[in-house]
């Protein structure tokens, strides 16, 4: 027996191997220090025991997989090494030498973990382990990477687990309530995995573990275990933890019984999660409904030639906003199409989202038929329509095309005048009643919905007319919106030609979270949102790229209405800022704090103001429940939440390697110059990042029509919009990554 140090990873592996019911692939440990002869003897003995074709050779440094820091990915791992003495010895040498070749990375990581220990060069022990040719593999965590939230977190992908850990693949993420009865878990492999995890947690007497696993032929193999080194900023309260099972079951029943054959998505059509987030206040939801979801969107589309159901688009499950796929799909039904025929199209749309939930961010581009082109023909074939029904649809879509062409010809030349008039009207609101202010904001959202519909319509027309063209690339230099204007104004401020106060007057109404009613605005902290960007501001003229389509009707309308959409968004947000400012004053005069007010609807607040009666009791909040991006009612079980593959949008053709900076909240003060900035949503409240010197932007949610996407196209900022829950989780724990927009990949470096 060789004496020496086994390292943290090997010691944990020895513990795992001793737990009844846990299967660990056979392994041997080469401690440090040891001689080449000793290494060879250990390997020879291992080969005689295993007799497999391949092994994995991993590091086990002194502090690796420890309680203070994990050092995950700091050292080399060699996979699929032939089970032959010289090949294994060579791999062992490479793994040990990685302690020197990656010395700077290790030192940086030690500093990153706040120097809570001394990293000393004691050499690296090595694990040689039988290689499992896994059907799938991944990581399971006792809870989320930041909070003890009552759910296991499981990241899984096809093949070997290093693909998940390194971010080389964008796998599937599961959240399983810790209280879930194993009999309620339908997937056999998932039930076995949770059983293994509970055994490991019981043995370690810990609910803060990170375990790597592989699955082969129905068998779960445990490969590694380490303590979770992330801190819990907002641990779940004991009361919420105990109520979680009941709350989950109640919401599951609500979805199954309340939404029939509908399907709910948090980024379908009006993308409520982008502006409201996953857990908005009652007032935020209420105001968003007044401005968009209750009736405005459907009314505007009806005026443009569509035939919606007029049932409102938004649905609330727990505290989370969703959009009804049925309401959205029918809001794009052309006049003249019967309910019976369109129901057949809806069945096709629903089946597409059930089979690929990532399509919810692209329903207007990849799911719904929006014109009488090839997409409509494909949908009609899948719907198995009769000849007369196909004629009915083609005729209705052609009539809709004529209507939208006529509206476009009218609106395009007058858009600037209309927007200027609306902006002037906002300046006259100072003494108006709150109800009148709200109507003015609604008028702005109506125009926004109209030009946004035209922008998306013409984008669809362009893509159907010129298939295979990358419209985002063609738009470079042609789009001019408020983002470019703000960058120009920041530059003027830097050279002394624009006072700082003027900058605040122009952009102070912007806010991270446009519909977080009582959230911070740029004017509340101009130093962070505006002034800190001045030093980096330089005129940035994105060169127009000449191309064959720039003078076509389709392309010119895309440009015109995308610009009108962004400008109208800016102006109705300005009016909304005036409304919110007035609301705060009214609340203050009545002694109602904003926290209490946020728990009530707009109508309840107005009733309180008019009657003088006190506010009613607060509504119940569904604390702690994790809800998926897409809800399929007949299949829903909220005990197990699955986050599928994302369909991100990559902007520019750049390849950027840079450190990761996480901004969970736009109000956080973080130096992002030269960094890849990771943010949770494509919320336009993060616009200041375009002027911050960031190397690129990565968002968890957001679709190709999001404002962040448009701004990235305009300013040619390398970006990945909507990377998805699984990749976002991987990047949150990374030090640096590669944003490869050219090939459409995100890769964790360290």
Q: Residue 626 in contact with residue 176, Cβ under 8 Å?
A: no
In degrees, rounded to 5, the angle at the alpha carbon of residue 89 between the alpha carbons of residues 84 and 90 is: 105
- Give the per-residue pLDDT at 303: 97
Which of 141, 143, 117, 111 is closest to 232 using CA atoms?
Answer: 143
* Pick from 57, 92, 98, 53: nearest CA to 75: 98
Euclidean distance between CA atoms 18 and 21, whole angstroms = 9
Contact criterion met (CB below 8 Å) for 463 and 670: no
Structure tokens belonging to residue 299: 């009314």
| 696-699 sheet: strands from edge to edge | 649-651, 719-721, 696-699, 676-679, 655-662, 736-740, 745-748
Q: Is 639 in contact with 177 (CB distance < 8 Å)?
A: yes
Note whether 347 and 263 are within 8 A (CB): no
List all residues 6 or more positions away from 207 whose beta carbon is below 8 Å from its beta carbon.
142, 143, 148, 178, 201
Who contacts 572 (Cβ-Cβ below 8 Å, separation ≥6)?
422, 441, 444, 445, 447, 448
Strand 320-324 relative to strand 264-265, pairing: antiparallel
Interatomic CA distance for residues 261 and 283, integer angstroms: 29
Does residue 266 contact residue 247 with C-beta atoms inside 8 Å? no
Q: What is the C-alpha to C-alpha distance for residues 133 and 636, in angstroms, rounded to an integer? A: 32
Which tokens go with 490? 């920041």
Helices (H) and strands (E) in the chain, counts: 24, 21
Question: What is the C-alpha to C-alpha distance for residues 227 and 208, in angstroms, rounded to an integer?
Answer: 6
- The b/e string for 274-291 (b: 16+ C-beta within 10 A; e otherwise) is bbbbbebbbbbbbbbbbb
**Token pair for 724:** 């998805």
C-alpha to C-alpha distance for 366 and 348, rounded to whole angstroms:
12
Work out the burial of residue 254: count CB atoms within 10 Å of its CB; fewer than 13 is exposed, 13-18 middle, 19 or more buried.
middle
Q: Of all helices (H) and strands (E), which one includes residue 317?
A: strand 314-317
Q: What pLDDT does 310 receive?
A: 96
pLDDT at 148: 79
Cα 153 to the chain's mean position, in Å?
16
The CA distance from 454 to 741, in Å, is 28
Q: Which two tokens stand for residue 576?
A: 């909304």
Is 667 strand, coil or helix? coil
382-435 pLDDT, tens per residue? 999 999 999 999 999 999 999 999 999 999 999 999 999 999 999 998 889 999
Cα separation, 557 vs 455, in Å, equals 7
Which residues of the chain fall below pLDDT 70?
A: 1-4, 63-74, 100-122, 145-146, 160-171, 229-235, 512-514, 539-541, 645, 647, 666-668, 682-685, 703-707, 710, 714, 743, 749-750
- β partners of residue 747: 738
* Residues with Cβ within 8 Å of residue 632, at least 6 apart in sequence: 263, 354
| Number of other CB atoms surrounding residue 725 within 10 Å | 23
Rounded to whole angstroms, the maximal C-alpha distance in the chain is: 90
CB neighbour class for 637 (10 Å; exposed up to 12, middle 13-18, buried from 19): middle
CA 565 to chain centre: 23
Question: Omega of the bond prior to 33 within 30 degrees of 0, cis?
Answer: yes
* Cβ contact 177:150 at 8 Å: yes
Q: SS3 for 737?
A: strand
Question: Residue 49: helix, strand or coil by DSSP?
Answer: helix
Measured between alpha carbons, how far is residue 361 from residues 32, 352, 355, 365, 367 in Å? 52, 13, 14, 9, 10
Question: For residues 337 and 396, is the Cβ–Cβ distance under 8 A?
Answer: yes
Comparing C-alpha atoms, which of 570, 604, 601 is closest to residue 684? 570
Q: Is the dihedral of CA 352, 353, 354, 355 positive or negative?
A: positive
pTM of the prediction? 0.78
CA distances from 513 to 278, 556, 564, 679 (A): 12, 31, 21, 12
Residue 531's CB is within 10 A of a number of other CB atoms, namely 15
Contact 147, 233 (CB under 8 A): yes
Q: CA-CA distance, 21 to 672, in Å (whole number)?
A: 47
Question: Which is it for the CA torsion 330, 334, 339, 340, positive or negative?
Answer: negative
For residue 169, what pLDDT is reported? 44
Report residue 664 as tokens.
């969970």
DSSP β-ladder status, 124-130 and 54-61: antiparallel
Residue 340 tokens read as 């019976």
Indicate the helix (H) or strand (E) that contains 461.
Answer: helix 434-465
Residue 437, H or E segment: helix 434-465
Structure tokens given for 708? 């962040």
CA distance between the termini of the chain: 35
Domains parsed from the chain with CATH numbers: 1-131 (no CATH), 134-236 (3.30.470.20), 249-396 (no CATH), 450-611 (no CATH), 646-748 (3.50.30.10)
Cα torsion for 346, 347, 349, 355, to the nearest 10°?
A: 160
User: Cα-atom radius of gyration of the chain, to the nearest Å?
Assistant: 28
pLDDT at 743: 64
Count Cβ atoms within 10 A of the Cβ of residue 51 and give its class: 0-12 exposed, 13-18 middle, 19 or more buried: exposed
Angle between helices 707-715 and 553-589 (to 10 degrees): 120
Say if CB 170 and CB 180 are below 8 A apart. no
Which of 343, 328, 333 has the alpha carbon at shortest distance from 383?
343
- pLDDT value at residue 717: 85
Residues facing residue 214 across a β-bridge:
137, 221
Residue with tokens 């305009």: 714
Q: For 339, list phi and psi in degrees, rounded to 5.
A: -60, -40
Closest CA to 293 of 273, 318, 263: 273
């Amino acid at each position: 027996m060789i004496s020496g140090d086994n390292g943290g990873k090997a010691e944990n592996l020895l513990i795992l191997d001793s737990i009844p019911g846990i299967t660990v692939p056979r392994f041997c440990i080469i401690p440090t220090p040891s001689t080449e002869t000793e290494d060879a003897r250990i390997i020879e003995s291992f080969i005689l025991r295993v007799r497999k074709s391949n092994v994995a050779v991993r590091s086990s440094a002194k502090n690796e997989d420890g309680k203070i820091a994990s050092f995950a990915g700091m050292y080399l791992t060699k996979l699929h090494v032939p089970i032959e003495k010289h090949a294994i010895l060579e791999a062992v040498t490479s793994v040990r030498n990685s302690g020197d070749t990656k010395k700077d990375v290790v030192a940086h990581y030690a500093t990153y973990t706040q120097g809570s220990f001394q990293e000393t060069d004691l050499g690296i022990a090595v694990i040689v382990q039988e290689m499992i040719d896994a059907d799938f593999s991944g990581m399971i965590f006792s809870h989320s990477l930041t909070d003890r939230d009552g759910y296991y977190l499981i990241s899984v992908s096809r093949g070997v687990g290093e693909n998940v850990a390194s971010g080389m693949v964008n796998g599937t993420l599961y959240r399983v309530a810790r209280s879930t009865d194993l009999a309620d878990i339908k997937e056999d492999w998932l039930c076995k995995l949770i059983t293994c995890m509970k055994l490991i947690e019981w043995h370690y007497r810990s609910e803060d573990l990170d375990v790597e696993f592989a699955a082969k032929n129905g068998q779960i193999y445990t490969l590694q275990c380490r303590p979770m080194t992330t801190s819990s900023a907002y641990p779940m309260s004991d009361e919420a933890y105990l109520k979680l099972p009941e709350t989950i079951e109640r919401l599951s029943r609500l979805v199954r019984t309340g939404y029939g054959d509908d399907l709910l998505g948090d980024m379908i059509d009006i993308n409520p999660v982008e502006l409201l987030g996953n857990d908005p206040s009652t007032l935020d939801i209420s105001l968003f409904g007044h401005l968009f979801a209750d009736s405005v969107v459907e009314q505007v589309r009806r005026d443009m030639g569509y035939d919606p159901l007029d049932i409102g688009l938004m649905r609330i499950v727990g505290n989370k906003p969703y959009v009804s796929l049925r309401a959205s799909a029918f809001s794009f039904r052309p006049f003249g199409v019967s309910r019976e025929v369109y129901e057949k199209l809806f069945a096709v749309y629903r089946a597409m989202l059930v089979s690929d939930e990532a399509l919810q961010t692209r329903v207007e581009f990849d799911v719904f038929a929006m014109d009488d082109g090839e997409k409509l023909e494909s949908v009609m074939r899948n719907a198995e329509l009769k000849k007369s029904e196909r004629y009915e649809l083609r005729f209705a879509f052609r009539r809709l095309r004529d209507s939208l062409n006529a509206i476009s010809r009218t609106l395009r030349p007058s858009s600037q005048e209309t927007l200027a008039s609306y902006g002037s009207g906002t300046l006259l609101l100072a003494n108006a009643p709150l109800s009148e202010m709200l109507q003015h904001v609604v008028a702005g959202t109506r125009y926004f919905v109209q030009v946004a519909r035209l922008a998306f319509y013409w984008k669809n027309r362009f893509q159907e007319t010129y298939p295979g063209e990358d419209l985002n690339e063609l738009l470079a230099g042609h789009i001019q919106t408020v983002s470019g204007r703000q960058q120009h104004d920041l530059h003027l401020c830097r050279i002394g030609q624009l006072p700082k106060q003027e900058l605040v007057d122009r952009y102070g109404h912007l806010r991270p979270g446009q519909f977080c009613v009582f959230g911070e605005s740029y004017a509340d902290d101009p130093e962070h949102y505006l002034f800190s960007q001045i030093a980096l501001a330089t005129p940035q003229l994105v060169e127009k790229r000449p191309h064959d389509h720039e003078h076509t009707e389709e392309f010119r309308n895309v440009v015109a209405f995308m610009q009108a959409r962004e400008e109208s968004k800016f102006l109705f947000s300005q009016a909304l800022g005036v409304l919110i400012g007035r609301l705060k004053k009214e609340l203050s005069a009545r002694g109602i704090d904003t926290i209490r007010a946020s728990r009530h609807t707009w109508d309840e607040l107005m009733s309180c103001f008019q009657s003088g009666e006190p506010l009613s009791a607060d509504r119940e909040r569904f604390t702690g429940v994790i809800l998926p991006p897409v809800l399929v009612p007949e299949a829903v079980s909220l005990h197990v939440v699955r986050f599928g593959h994302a369909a991100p949008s990559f902007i520019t053709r750049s390849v950027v390697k840079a450190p990761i900076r996480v901004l969970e909240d736009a109000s956080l003060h973080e130096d992002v110059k030269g960094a890849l900035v990771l943010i949770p949503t494509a919320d336009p409240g993060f616009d200041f990042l375009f002027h911050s010197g960031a190397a690129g932007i990565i968002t968890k949610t957001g679709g190709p029509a999001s404002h962040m996407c448009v701004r990235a196209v305009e300013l040619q900022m390398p970006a990945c919009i909507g990377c998805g829950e699984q990749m976002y989780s991987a990047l949150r724990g990374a030090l640096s990554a590669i944003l490869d927009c050219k090939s459409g990949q995100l890769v964790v470096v360290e």
